[in-house]
């Protein structure tokens, strides 16, 4: 009976860890999509780790994607109101 309880406890622990890892990765991917930062350096350590886990790296992006991202950033900064 004790071995059954140990197996259930280990299985539950691994399930919680796996679910947590998937949630953190999904959260980081959604945040990068929202910020449109795929063509730039990772904005934070969680995003950098997520890129490494999912196999997405900045070196694999085409020059066109980087240029389009730069144009989008310039448009956003030009449209943003200046603060004084």
Domain boundaries, the chain: 2-79
Per-residue pLDDT, 16: 97
Give pLDDT < 70 ranges for the chain.
57-66, 80-84
Q: At what angle do helices 2-35 and 45-54 cross, to 10 degrees?
A: 110
Judge if pTM exceeds 0.75.
no
Measured CA distances, 9 to 5, 15, 18, 23 (Å)? 6, 10, 14, 21
Per-residue pLDDT, 43: 80
Residues 6+ apart with CB under 8 A from 27: 46
Per-residue pLDDT, 83: 58
C-alpha span between 9 and 78 (Å, rounded): 55
Per-residue pLDDT, 84: 53
Per-residue pLDDT, 81: 65
Residues 6+ apart with CB under 8 A from 49: 28
């Amino acid at each position: 009976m004790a071995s059954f309880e140990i197996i259930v406890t280990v299985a539950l622990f691994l399930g919680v860890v796996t679910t947590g890892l998937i949630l953190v990765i999904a959260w980081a991917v959604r945040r990068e999509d929202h910020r449109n930062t795929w063509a730039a350096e990772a904005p934070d350590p969680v995003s950098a780790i997520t890129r490494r886990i999912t196999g997405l790296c900045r070196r694999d992006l085409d020059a066109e994607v980087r240029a389009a991202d730069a144009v989008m950033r310039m448009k956003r900064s030009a449209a943003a109101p200046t603060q004084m």
